[in-house]
Structure formats: structure tokens, C-alpha cells
Homo-oligomer: A and B are copies of this chain.
Amino acid sequence: MEEYKNLFSDSIRNELKSFAEYRTAYQEIYTFRNILSVLQWDSEITLPEEGRAERGLQIGLLSGLIHSKYAGENFYKLATKAREENEQKILPGQEQRRIEFERLFQDLDRSRLLSRELVEEFSITTSKAHSIWAKARKENRFEDFAPILSKIVELSKKQAECYGYQTEPYDALLENYEPGERAANLEKLFFNLKSNLKPLIARGKKIPNPFQKEIPIYLQNKLGETLPNILGLSSKISRLDASEHPFSTSLGSKDKRITTRYDLKDPLSSIFSILHETGHSLYEAGISEIEGGPSPLHDSVSLGIHESQSRLWENQVGRSLEFWEMYYPILLENLNIKESELSFSDLFSYINQSAPSLIRVEADQITYNLHIILRFEIERELINGKIQVYELPEIWNSKMKEMFGIVVSSDREGVLQDVHWSGGAFGYFPTYTLGNIYSAQFFQTFLKQNPNFQTTVKEKKDFSSLLNWLRQNVHWKGKFYSAEDLIRSATDTNPDSSYLVQYLEKKIIELEST
């Protein structure tokens, strides 16, 4: 992408007047999208309780404006004219601009299939649903969440019909998160993965929580604040807060925010959320570093690729021996724990334990994928109209019994645990396991090229070789490649789940030897 930085030179701007015009309009849409992200971030972190209803109106109005600007006639005409101009004029960067228009129109033609009314209704409904879900989860009352969830499912099905699909409605929604992916393909992929994980899961074991006392939140926060900086996410462009469900979000090219949640009894819960969300934000920060933006190429490839970045830092890095040899003293110091109260080996075994459990976000890295497969199977049938919202608790619980062999005692720890459906994000869950698959493949390739990485982490707290590799091979590619092509370009092999299985097997062997 060497030519990219020249895209906006004066000479090209003068030659490509329509391109410059279309890019100005794109910049405006990008800015409004960031404003929307500010509203959403504030809704999760700082909004007073009774302000929520009116905030829903604000978000609805702005979402509608963005949709009408992006999917409206004016922008479509500007982009079409700019695309034609680019085809006619042979100038440096022509091929890259061709790809930029390809990506743009893939998305634009889809967006234009939804009416402004449907977008606004969806936005207002999901904004309301968030607090209803949070309350229902807290009070363990699925019946309070069911009516608005039914409404969201109905609106999502309407979306699927507007988008269109070849085989099943769910594919139309999956396309929002993983362009080109299909449910039938995932079904096969997940079936294979399940088979390979089965023997590993049988070898797993549960390790008791090694923390002997509750750790107050302010200490956990003090520890957590150290992490993004160590990994390479500067506090000059980021901040850490607490929220119901951890997330990361981009509010501008130099404003990347992450959140975590605190468990008094287990400070690792927060640490691994921070590792995960930092991975997402490093990807976003890297994309924003590409010159010549914002543009449709200044974007992530897919949620699977996005998730590969968070999983890489959370698991491949964050559960490794060298990371904990480096971070163990920092943890002890910040949490006011003596070495005698928490042995390294107990801690490290706990970090790499594997055992069936109820909560996805607290699951180990092996069984985690089963949680995803369960959700994928359920939401696919929900969107395809094979099951109804009121049946969800029963179906959830019986699948948990079948796949994990465990009984769900409350919906709070069952069907109500995740935020995703309250946001209408059907098709999102499978990208988590795709992320796990991709992350193992990226990290193995990096390690082969950087055999000293483990030493520099352990001895110098230095992750820069990894961050630079990711920047060059993933972040700075933006949306130039498809997910498949990006993986081939970075790893010289096709997407392949065997890297993940090998990695997890190594982890099981480590665990067995403790």
C-alpha cells in the first residue's frame, strides 16, 4: 500500500476532482459515526439513569441521519462519479482506488436495501433493550426481556428479507459481520472443530481460584491501568473504564476506549478482559495510522479478523509462560499480595485450566468454542424461524446439558448472560471462534519469524516486535484484502483450524504436567 500516502497529494486532488468530492462526503459520514460512538460510549459509562430514554432518541436521530447520508442518493452519485473518473484516468494509485470502490459499493449496495425507518426503529429498540436486558439479567427474569427481544428478532428478520439471501435468512445477517461467510460452511467448520476439541476437553481439569481474599476494585483498577501501556496502547489515545459487559470502541482516530468489569474474588477476570479489549483497540489504532484516510479501506476486514487481534493478546500472549513470568511481580505489587499468598505455579495453572462452565466470557480457551457453537446453533434457528423467543431458556439449558454436561440453574447464568442479542447482533457470535482460529495461525507465523520474542517479553517487558508484525501484516492493510487473502498474505497458508488445535493441545500438556 505504498501508494496510499500519495492519494491526497495536491496534484492528484487536482486531477481527481470527483474523487476529492466523494472523499469529503465520506469524511463527514466518518465524523458523524464517531459522534454516534461518543453517544454510545457515554450511554454505557456515564449517563445518569433517567437520561436513558432521551438518549435513545438522540441515538435514533443520529443513526437515521448517518444512514440517510451514507445510503442516500447524493453520496451514491458522488461515489459512482468518482469511480468512473478513476477508471478513465490512469494515475498512480488507480488500482488501490479501484479496490476502495469495490469495498465501498459492496457495503453501500447492501445499506441501501434498508429503509431509514427500519434503521431508526432498530436503533431505538436496541437502545431501549440494553437497559431492559441489564435489569432482567440482574433480577434473573427472562420474561421481562422476552417481549423486546421478540421485537428485535422480528426487526432482524425484516432486515434479512431486505438484504436478501440464497439459502437461509441467517446468512444475510452473518454477512454484516463476516463478509462472504455462510452458515452452512460454519456448520461444517464447527463440526470438525468440535470433533478435534472433544479429546482435549476430556483431558482438561478445573483448578481452584488461587486468590485467598477479595481484591478491592480500586486495586484491580490500578493494576489494570498498567496493562494497555505495557502492550503498546498509549494512554494519550485511550482510556479504561468499567461497564456491565466489557467492550472497546473507537471515537476518533486517536480516541480508542476500552472497558472491563471487576470480579472481587477473581482479578484475572478483569485482566483478561483488558488484554482482550486492548487487542481490539490496538487493531483500530493501527488502522487509523494508515495515511490518506478516512476511507472505506481504513476499516477492519471482518469481525473474525478483529477478534483474531483480541484473542491473540488475550490467549496466545496473555496465557503464555513468558507473559506471566514478566507480569506476576507487577500483579503482586499492585494488588498488595505477598508471594507466599499466591504461588506462581498455582496462578499459572489457574490461568490455563480447562473445564466446562456456565459463563462464556469466563470460559477457558478450549471450552469457549463450545459456547460459541451453542449460540450459533440457537441464533441461526431463531432467525430462520425454526424456534421462538419464548423457547430460548429451555433450548439453551438442554443444549448446555448435552454439550457441557452441566445444568443451568438460572437464566442469569444462562440465556441472559450475553449483551449481543439485546443489541440485535445476530451473526456476531461465530466470529469469536473464527477469531480464535485466525489468532493461532497469525501468532505461530510471527513466532517462527521472531524466535526471540519470548525472551524480550520476559526480560524487557517489550512487545514491540509483535505489535510491529501485526501492524505490518494486519493493521496497516486495512480492508485492502478479504479475510482469506489477508491470512494468506500474512501466513503464506490458507485459513486452517489445525493451528488452534495444536496450540490448545500444547496447553493441555502444560496443564497435565502441573
Q: Which residues of A contact B (CB under 8 A)?
A: 28, 31-32, 34-35, 38-39, 42, 45-51, 53-55, 57-58, 61-62, 234-239, 251-257
A251-B31 contact, Cβ under 8 Å, with A38-B42, A39-B38, A46-B46: no
B51 and A251 contacting across the interface, CB-CB below 8 Å? yes
A48-B253 contact, Cβ under 8 Å, with A31-B57, A35-B39: no
A49-B236 contact, Cβ under 8 Å, with A39-B38, A42-B42: yes
For the complex, what is the distance from the CA of A28 to the CA of B61, rounded to whole Å?
A: 8
| Nearest neighbor of A59 in chain B, beta-carbon distance | B35
A55 and B252 contacting across the interface, CB-CB below 8 Å? yes
A35 and B54 contacting across the interface, CB-CB below 8 Å? no
What chain B residues lie within 8 Å of A255 (beta carbons)? 47-48, 50-51, 54-55
Given contact pairs A50-B254, A50-B255, A54-B255, enumerate 18 new A-B contacts (beta carbons under 8 Å): A31-B57, A32-B61, A34-B54, A34-B58, A35-B35, A38-B38, A45-B46, A48-B238, A48-B255, A48-B256, A48-B257, A50-B236, A51-B237, A51-B252, A53-B254, A54-B252, A54-B254, A58-B252
B54 and A237 contacting across the interface, CB-CB below 8 Å? no
Interface of A is mostly: helix
17 pairs of residues in contact across A and B, judged by CB atoms under 8 Å: A31-B57, A31-B58, A32-B61, A34-B58, A45-B46, A46-B239, A48-B235, A48-B237, A48-B254, A48-B256, A48-B257, A49-B236, A50-B254, A51-B252, A54-B254, A54-B255, A58-B252
For the complex, what is the distance from the CA of A492 to the CA of B62, rounded to whole Å?
A: 46
B239 and A50 contacting across the interface, CB-CB below 8 Å? no
What chain B residues lie within 8 Å of A257 (beta carbons)? 48
For the complex, what is the distance from the CA of A55 to the CA of B57, rounded to whole Å?
A: 22
Nearest 9 A/B pairs, CB to CB: A51-B255, A54-B252, A50-B254, A49-B236, A50-B236, A50-B237, A51-B254, A51-B252, A31-B61
| Nearest neighbor of A252 in chain B, beta-carbon distance | B54
A239-B48 contact, Cβ under 8 Å, with A254-B54, A255-B55: yes
What chain B residues lie within 8 Å of A32 (beta carbons)? 61
| Nearest neighbor of A62 in chain B, beta-carbon distance | B35
What chain B residues lie within 8 Å of A48 (beta carbons)? 235-239, 254-257
What chain B residues lie within 8 Å of A62 (beta carbons)? 35
For the complex, what is the distance from the CA of A253 to the CA of B48, rounded to whole Å?
A: 11
For the complex, what is the distance from the CA of A492 to the CA of B255, rounded to whole Å?
A: 53
For the complex, what is the distance from the CA of A435 to the CA of B237, rounded to whole Å?
A: 40
What chain B residues lie within 8 Å of A61 (beta carbons)? 28, 31-32, 35
For the complex, what is the distance from the CA of A254 to the CA of B55, rounded to whole Å?
A: 10
For the complex, what is the distance from the CA of A226 to the CA of B55, rounded to whole Å?
A: 26
What chain B residues lie within 8 Å of A35 (beta carbons)? 35, 39, 58, 61-62
| Nearest neighbor of A49 in chain B, beta-carbon distance | B236
What chain B residues lie within 8 Å of A55 (beta carbons)? 252, 255
For the complex, what is the distance from the CA of A38 to the CA of B256, rounded to whole Å?
A: 17
| Nearest neighbor of A36 in chain B, beta-carbon distance | B35
What chain B residues lie within 8 Å of A58 (beta carbons)? 31, 34-35, 38, 252
What chain B residues lie within 8 Å of A237 (beta carbons)? 48-51
For the complex, what is the distance from the CA of A234 to the CA of B61, rounded to whole Å?
A: 27
A222 CB to closest chain B CB (Å) equals 13
What chain B residues lie within 8 Å of A51 (beta carbons)? 237, 251-252, 254-255
For the complex, what is the distance from the CA of A442 to the CA of B235, rounded to whole Å?
A: 48
What chain B residues lie within 8 Å of A53 (beta carbons)? 254
